[in-house]
Structure 1
Amino acid sequence: MDRGPHRLAVVLNESEAGGSDGAVDAAALMARHGAEIVVVKRGPRGATVFERGGDAVEIPVYRSDSVFKIGSGDVFSAAFALHWGERGLAAASAADIASRSVASFVDGHALPLDDTTNQSAVAVRAADQRRIYLAGPFFDLAQRWLIEEAFRILTEFGAEVFSPLHEVGTGLSADAIAEADLEGLRGCSKVLGLLDGADSGTVFEVGYARALGIPVIALAERLDAENLTMIAGSGCEVVRDFTTAIYRVMWAGGR
């Protein structure tokens, strides 16, 4: 069947497009690939659609209770191709459906997705992007690796992160460390708490944050409900996997 003239859209992530600072040269990408559309996927911040001769359009990310990342990029690209390339929707509309499709997929891990996928999904808009306080123990290799990985990913997503390991370290007195850590915490708008191991310092930081009314995303993969009584009871959002914790703290404070 003749589908008319050849059309091309380039769908890629931020690192492929030029980085998380938003410096995307869409015109150069269009010229290089002979494309009329460029879609830049921005992880927990949605996507941006660039159209030749038009303004950039921001596409929201949609909330999900959990985030199973494997295959999510393929789902976005496939949904966009179907609705833009096959069904003729405007690029921004197709990208919005693709974003909804991703939210459904990462939450339910199931395919195929039908045309009514996630119509009631809630968009994350204007999430608070002030500093994230990264609370967690770093006394052994595994703990330190998790802190480093969380710090790296959040930074790559464009977040400003206060990490006691990176900003304060361990070479000061207990009084000086506590003062510096709590001063940093007071300057943050949300907390990611890595709670496995139930480190007393991390638990204290989480409680201090809640006393100040700062939202806390608490990652607890191995702690049982009994050990999370005060954490959950004080209004922390408890999640059970690392990727979901990263996304939920990025979304915290959004409308």
Structure 2
Amino acid sequence: MSLFLAQAPGSVMLIGAGPGDLGLLTVTGLRALEAADVIVADRLGARSIIDQLTEERGAPLDAVVIDVGKQPGHHPVPQERINEILVEEARRGRRVVRLKGGDPFVFGRGGEEVIACREAGIDVQVVPGVTSANSVPAVAGIPLTHRGLATSYTVATGHDQLTEIGGGRDHTVVVLMGIGTLVHSAMVLARGTRGPDCPVAIVEDGFGDSQRVTIGTLGTIAFHAARRSVRSPAVIVVGDVVTLSPYAAGAFDSAAAPHPELARNP
């Protein structure tokens, strides 16, 4: 039995909205959204999916949409209140979809919401989503692993200041929510074997209308990001795999530091 068919009134389904492109939403997620009584939606990814689905259908979804979106430094609906909303709506006998950007279990606090529902006796299920940690680098032509260049990768949050991550340039590092702590993160990663010349890419608004890629090194990326007024949402990729991106063409052909102009969208 599919997850969609198993959802019953008085239940909660946590769905990963992916990076905000309707084409990357799972079929199970799509069907659950269309059958939901209530959708509790994040800001990033989730709202875009709802808007695209409404446009494609030519009519709004039947569900009541409750906006609990957070912005950097501004959380109008605290996580504890979000947990309460899920439980309250399910107890009213409604099919509740918690639509979260990316994947609910990758820096999405989905685990906390599952625990809250289970402790309240609410049936809860999880539908994985396409995490921005993988999809946003891919849209910029950056594989996280590549034979001869990288055999492993680490996904970290920049929401708090980054601590040391082992490995060299062959160990890719992906930093989510890291623009506010970019200077610190670049310094920490440059201290190790990666060094200040290690390639870096920042992909802003992946899959969005304002998608843009900035190329640099650990020693220069903070300068380039400031010069270009790089903003969230953005994914930072560190490692030699960055050189495979078409946005990096020619950027590392000489010893000179790459310039952000080299990173214009092809």
TM-score, normalized by length of structure 1? 0.30
Higher percent of residues as helix: 1
* TM-score normalised per structure 2: 0.29
Higher strand share: 2
